[in-house]
Amino acid sequence: MQQVIGDFIHALRQAGLPVSPAETLDAVNTASLVGLDNRLVLKTALGLTVAKTQENKLQYDHVFDQFFHFAAQDMAAQETDDALEQDGTDISTAEPLISENSNQDSSLVDGSSLVEDSPLADTLQSPLAQQLMQGDQAAMSVAIAGAGNAVGVNQMQMFTQKPLFTFRIMQQMGMDALNQELRELSQQEENQSLVQLLKTRRNLLREQVQDFVEQQYALFAQAEGKKLRDSNLQKVRFTLVDYQSYDRMTGLVRKAAKQLASLHSRRRKVTKRGMLDVRKTIAANAAYDGVLFHTKWKSTRIDRPKIVAICDVSGSVSRVARFLLLFLYSLQDVLPRVRSFVFSGAMGEVTEYFEQDDLETAMTKVMEGWANRSTDYAMALSDFENLALDDIDNKTTVIMLGDARNNNGDGNVKVWEQVYRRSNRVLWLNPEGRGSWDTGDSIMADYAPYCTQVESCNSLRDLTRILSGLLKNS
Amino acid sequence: MIIKHKDRIASPEIVKAGFDDLGYVCSEAIAMAVYLACQLQKPILVEGPPGVGKTELAKKTAEYLGAPLIRMQCYEGLDESKALYEWKYGKQLLYTQVLKDQLGDVMRGAKGLDESVERLQQFGDIFYSEQFLETRPLLQALREDDGAILLIDEIDKSDQEFEAFLLELLSEYQVSIPEIGTIKATSKPIVFLTSNNTRELGDALKRRCLHLYIPFPDPKLESQIIASQVPEMAENLRKQLVNFVAELRDMALKKEPAISESIDWARALMLLNVDELEVQWVKDTLNLLLKYQDDIEVVEPELNRLVRGLK
């Protein structure tokens, strides 16, 4: 039983459930308490011990059904008996292996009942052939699972390994001996019907093994491949993310944002440190005749920054802007006060879009309204001066995302200097690598002196790192 | 804990039947959770929307097992002096005043400071001993001789520091008091933690608990619950009521009506002698089900359609 539960936990972990060793022990204890006979009882019981959020519970249900699939098949086989009698033509399923069904099956199996009666069937030598002739499906499932364990099918990692493992399992079950025997039998004329039957059953077995491998792949390896793809996507440059990966990327951004949010969701307070709060202390100890049992300390709350995000949405920067905005608004829990502005030529505030619509719609609106015009930092910044400069105070963090390519125009650096002087912090994220700053029409060097921090930001990883730093130091 | 009625927790089915008798109709998962908690001595973390009977579960368990229920309500700023123990400062102060005169007697005849200190030390730390310890719910639960049901209500409302402080209690059933030492449970209590999900609880806490999520019940279960709580209600009306509430839960509301609200509503309908759901009655009593004016405004225009759909 420990083996079964161990494998099951392994499958759960592959599906992304964080199951700790302590919870594994709990699961084993639970299973030994309720027993493995009743599937539903086992499902509820294990669910209570290993799945600890609603989301995890859904995943758990899915994995449980997949993992204990074989047990379910046995139960279902009995129920579907009647149904099968009517549509007995379908040989491609594994069901005809069940002996009582095979009698009602198509012509081929009709032949089998003749052969089964003949003494020839008893003379079969290889163990696999005997097993096939018995046609006990439950025993066969167990045999397949046993062979699967022996060849280590749960170590599978890539989908390309599927045929390999199918082959290995068949080998393990004694395919060589069976083939050998088939060759010998087929030389004699009177054995033809038996050989035919064995061959069909062998093919059915192969299909069954393939199903088994497929299922094991889904349980143990599919998540592995996804993880690999995800970790690659984190490193890839935003500008290179193709449209097909947008959905996945969006999911990843949200996930990263959620991680950051839960890490920083705590409102930090500095207590039991610093100055004694005399007034509160005296009040708290009035009951004890003024003897100071309880001390009260002055505590300061560390406030979250107000964030003003300014995004260049022209040309290639727009893709990065998309993910930056997505990230910022996914952080709503920890950064409730985000104002966002976009520009390519003129600048406009788009905070409302994000408050009213969901992210996708808002992004589309933003892109339709502001993107793809020629870049003019001077105009944008003077717009910003009118729009929001007065609202910037010493608690504001300004994040500018742009490549500072100004089509050889004047940069209007004066406004940026004021932004820098008024705000708490100015972050400039440039999607280009440092090497290409100040080449061509880039005027990064003009703005850089008025930034607290200048970063090259081009992948989800960069974005996570920078925003994490922002939350940590606030 | 020492369970006086071992036969009552012999299997999940028995637990479920027992709860039924007490008027708490529960699903298999709930019965299983209680069964496992008793058998494995593990705390249960109960999550779910408000009003689905999380707190009630702990109360009924206490009633079922015949054990005392010790309840601790969590709130922001709750600390160990309110949850675990506190020294009786007032008493300490009073005693020092009274004992001041006694001290003279004790010291009489002592030569030099050394001897005085030695004599004083013979009395030990009288002021930080059990007599001056004021027990709060957690300590009280550990000290119950026959074990108790400890309900830590709305753990999500407490601070993260407090959650961390609970970890020792939940896994080892012991607490440390600096002046006295570690206090172990005389008999392990069965702990229920409830949470409304206002914030994500720490993984360390979740790891130590069985996790039970109580969703809104399906119509069948809800009908059973109402039948057990408001037995005088006719079956026809009960069916209509349950279906109506289920319809409401499908609508986009700020706060969906929970079981406790359906029960209240059922009681109100009985009080008003209603035999069949009619638009006017529903309109007049809607504020029992819906707790936001916005929600009422959303539902009211739909009432005709909803009520007609029931017939």
- CATH number, domain at B25? 3.40.50.300
Residues B89 and B235 in one domain: no
pLDDT at A112: 44
pLDDT at A396: 85
For A154-167, write each residue's pLDDT tens digit: 777 777 888 888 88
A chain contacts of residue B90, beta-carbon cutoff 8 Å: 287-288
A88 pLDDT more than 50: no
* Burial class of residue B60 (count of CB atoms within 10 Å of its CB; 0-12, 13-18, 19+): buried
- For residue A86, being part of any structural domain is answered with no
Residues A151 and A48 in one domain: no
Give the integer Cα–Cα distance in Å for A204 and A96. 9
Give the integer Cα–Cα distance in Å for B275 and B264. 16
A103 pLDDT more than 90: no
A96 pLDDT more than 70: no
A235 pLDDT more than 80: no
- Closest-CA distance, B305 to chain A, in angstroms, reads 30
pLDDT at B211: 92
Which residue range is the domain that position A187 belongs to? 96-216
Residues B188 and B232 in one domain: no
Confidence of residue A267 (pLDDT cuts 50, 70, 90): low
Final residue in a domain of this structure, among A245, A276, A301 = A301
- For residue A238, being part of any structural domain is answered with no
Low-confidence winner among A18-22, A306-310, A329-333, B107-111 (lowest mean pLDDT): A329-333
Distances (CA, A) of B190 to A57, B2, B205: 24, 10, 16
Contact between residue A166 and residue A233 where contact means Cβ atoms under 8 Å apart: no
For chain A, say whether B46 makes contact (Cβ under 8 Å): no
Low-confidence winner among A322-331, A413-422, B9-18 (lowest mean pLDDT): A322-331
Asked whether the CA dihedral A429, A433, A435, A437 is positive or negative, the reply is negative
- For the ranges A98-107, A156-165, B47-56, the one whose mean pLDDT is highest: B47-56
Contact between residue B257 and residue B248 where contact means Cβ atoms under 8 Å apart: yes
Residues A388 and A461 in one domain: yes
B chain contacts of residue A18, beta-carbon cutoff 8 Å: 203
pLDDT at B33: 92
What residue type is assigned to position A205 of the chain? L
Confidence of residue B62 (pLDDT cuts 50, 70, 90): very high
pLDDT at A239: 66
pLDDT at B198: 77
B chain contacts of residue A54, beta-carbon cutoff 8 Å: 47, 213
- Closest-CA distance, B45 to chain A, in angstroms, reads 9
Residues A325 and A355 in one domain: yes
Low-confidence winner among A308-317, B54-63, B253-262, B265-274 (lowest mean pLDDT): A308-317
**Which residue in B has a C-alpha nearest to residue A43's C-alpha?**
B29
For A173-183, write each residue's pLDDT tens digit: 888 888 888 88
A272 pLDDT more than 60: no
Final residue in a domain of this structure, among B179, B213, B247 = B213
Q: Provide mean pLDDT across the span B276-289.
A: 86
The CB-side HSE value for A311 (13 A sphere, CA atoms) comes to: 33
Final residue in a domain of this structure, among B198, B213, B228 = B213
Residues B60 and B146 in one domain: yes
Of B28, B29, B206, the CB nearest to A52: B206
> pLDDT higher for B29 or A222?
B29
Give the integer Cα–Cα distance in Å for A364 and A245. 17
- For residue B117, being part of any structural domain is answered with yes
- For residue B137, being part of any structural domain is answered with no
Contact between residue B212 and residue B44 where contact means Cβ atoms under 8 Å apart: yes
Residues B224 and B301 in one domain: yes
Structural domain count of chain A: 4
Residues A322 and A468 in one domain: yes
Final residue in a domain of this structure, among B213, B236, B251 = B213
Confidence of residue A83 (pLDDT cuts 50, 70, 90): very low
Give the integer Cα–Cα distance in Å for A364 and B213. 38
Residues B151 and B255 in one domain: no
Which residue range is the domain that position B65 belongs to? 6-80+142-213
Contact (CB<8Å) B203/A18: yes
pLDDT at A204: 85
Q: Provide mean pLDDT across the span B243-272.
A: 88
pLDDT at A333: 65
For B220-237, write each residue's pLDDT tens digit: 888 988 888 888 888 888
Residues A46 and A129 in one domain: no
- For residue A201, being part of any structural domain is answered with yes
A53 pLDDT more than 80: yes
pLDDT at B210: 92
Final residue in a domain of this structure, among A187, A216, A245 = A216
Residues A174 and A152 in one domain: yes
The percent of residues in chain A predicted with pLDDT above 70, rounded, is 81
pLDDT at A266: 60
What residue type is assigned to position B173 of the chain? Y
- For residue B114, being part of any structural domain is answered with yes
pLDDT at A86: 42
A243 pLDDT more than 80: no
Average pLDDT of chain A is 77
> pLDDT higher for B94 or A360?
B94
Contact between residue B25 and residue B228 where contact means Cβ atoms under 8 Å apart: yes
> pLDDT higher for B60 or A439?
B60
A chain contacts of residue B208, beta-carbon cutoff 8 Å: 22
Residues 6+ apart with CB under 8 A from B246: B219, B222
Residues A465 and A319 in one domain: yes
- For residue B1, being part of any structural domain is answered with no
pLDDT at A303: 63
A247 pLDDT more than 70: yes
Confidence of residue B168 (pLDDT cuts 50, 70, 90): confident
A37 pLDDT more than 80: yes
B69 pLDDT more than 90: yes
Residues B42 and B16 in one domain: yes
Confidence of residue A274 (pLDDT cuts 50, 70, 90): low
**Which residue in A has a C-alpha nearest to residue B160's C-alpha?**
A266
B80 pLDDT more than 70: yes
Give the integer Cα–Cα distance in Å for B159 and A268. 11
- For residue A263, being part of any structural domain is answered with no
Residues A291 and A388 in one domain: no
B68 pLDDT more than 80: yes
List, as ranges, residues 69-128 from B with C-beta within 8 Å of A: 87, 89-90, 93
Structural domain count of chain B: 3
Contact between residue A167 and residue A151 where contact means Cβ atoms under 8 Å apart: no
B chain contacts of residue A265, beta-carbon cutoff 8 Å: 199-200
Residues B190 and B95 in one domain: no
- For residue A427, being part of any structural domain is answered with yes
Residues 6+ apart with CB under 8 A from B203: A18, A52
Give the integer Cα–Cα distance in Å for B305 and A127. 68
Interface test with A, best of B26, B32, B52 (most A CBs within 10 A): B32
Final residue in a domain of this structure, among A254, A286, A301 = A301
- For residue A358, being part of any structural domain is answered with yes
Q: Provide mean pLDDT across the span B236-250.
A: 88
Contact (CB<8Å) B39/A33: yes
Look up the pTM and report it: 0.68
Residues B263 and B285 in one domain: yes
Low-confidence winner among A262-276, A344-358, A421-435, B76-90 (lowest mean pLDDT): A262-276
Residues A52 and A145 in one domain: no
Residues A331 and A439 in one domain: yes
A116 pLDDT more than 70: no
Residues A391 and A459 in one domain: yes
Residues B12 and B55 in one domain: yes
Contact between residue B164 and residue B208 where contact means Cβ atoms under 8 Å apart: no
Q: Provide mean pLDDT across the span A243-256.
A: 75
Give the integer Cα–Cα distance in Å for A36 and A71. 11
> pLDDT higher for A132 or A13?
A13
**Nearest partner of B307 among B285, B273, B284, B276, judged by Cα:** B276
Compute the count of residue pairs across chains A and B with CB atoms less than 8 Å apart. 62
**Nearest partner of A399 among A352, A451, A358, judged by Cα:** A451
Helix (H) or strand (E) holding B183: strand B181-184
> pLDDT higher for A300 or A161?
A161
- For residue B64, being part of any structural domain is answered with yes
Residues A320 and A389 in one domain: yes
Give the integer Cα–Cα distance in Å for B88 and B97. 15
Residues B96 and B238 in one domain: no
- For residue A87, being part of any structural domain is answered with no
* Burial class of residue A86 (count of CB atoms within 10 Å of its CB; 0-12, 13-18, 19+): exposed
Residues B233 and B295 in one domain: yes
B194 pLDDT more than 90: yes
The pair of structure tokens assigned to A61 is 């249900």
Low-confidence winner among A176-185, B120-129, B188-197 (lowest mean pLDDT): B120-129
Q: How would you write chain A as a 3-class SS string?
A: CHHHHHHHHHHHHHCCCCCCHHHHHHHHHHHHHHCCCCHHHHHHHHHHHHCCCHHHHHHHHHHHHHHCHHHHHHHHHHHCHHHHHHCCCCCCCCHHHCHHHHCCCCHHHHHHHHHHHCHHHHHCCCHHHHHHHHCCHHHHHHHHHHHHHHCCHHHCCCHHHHHHHHHHHHHHCCHHHHHHHHHHHHCCHHHHHHHHHHHHHHHHHHHHHHHHHHHHHHHHHHHHHHHHHHHHHHHCCHHHCCHHHHHHHHHHHHHHHHHHHHHHCCCCEECCCCCECHHHHHHHCHHHCCCCCCCCECCEECCCCEEEEEEECCCCHHHHHHHHHHHHHHCCCCCCCEEEEEECCCEEECHHHHHHCCHHHHHHHHHHHHCCCCCCHHHHHHHHHHHHHHHCCCCEEEEEECCCECCCCCCCHHHHHHHHHHCCEEEEEECCCHHHCCCCCECHHHHHHHCCEEEECCCHHHHHHHHHHHHHCC
> What ipTM is given for this predicted complex?
0.80
For chain A, say whether B268 makes contact (Cβ under 8 Å): no
Q: Provide mean pLDDT across the span A377-390.
A: 87
pLDDT at B193: 94
Contact (CB<8Å) B211/A18: no
Residues B180 and B205 in one domain: yes
Give the integer Cα–Cα distance in Å for A431 and A317. 7
